[in-house]
Amino acid sequence: MSDEPTETSALDPARAAEMLAAGTAEIVDVRQDFEWEASRIAGAKHIPLETLPSRAAELPRDRPVIFQCRTGARSGMATAAFLDAGFDAYNLEGGLEAWVAEGLEVEPEGAAVASARPDNT
């Protein structure tokens, strides 16, 4: 199977926000610690991608899980793996960058999306 998310496994930010507001899905941020500290979606669970396999038991099997990173690439890999494992998994299309571009809020208020590397300015 390809690591690319399928069309059916991708959620646009507006639909993801609706699901989160309704409490029908959980969002998992797979970014690095420095990215999480810079900004995040309210209510997200932080599980860095490299620790995700060992922490899979923390994720619900009874409702959708939306994976999210900065642009959707890393979370796309997580989505593909969790779909293969039988989870109802989705990738936040365009990641946190698309979320912010849609005017959706992040924490802390006024925060910017961190670059992919801590040494980028």
Q: Of the listed 11, 52, 69, 96, which one is catalytic?
A: 69
Helix (H) or strand (E) holding 66: strand 65-68
Residue 85 contacts residue 78 (beta carbons within 8 Å)? no
Q: Which residues contact 32 (CB under 8 A, 6 or more apart)?
A: 48, 118
Q: Which two tokens stand for residue 96?
A: 């946190």
* CA–CA distance, 70 with 41 (Å, rounded to integer): 11
66 noted as active-site residue: no
Catalytic center residues: 69
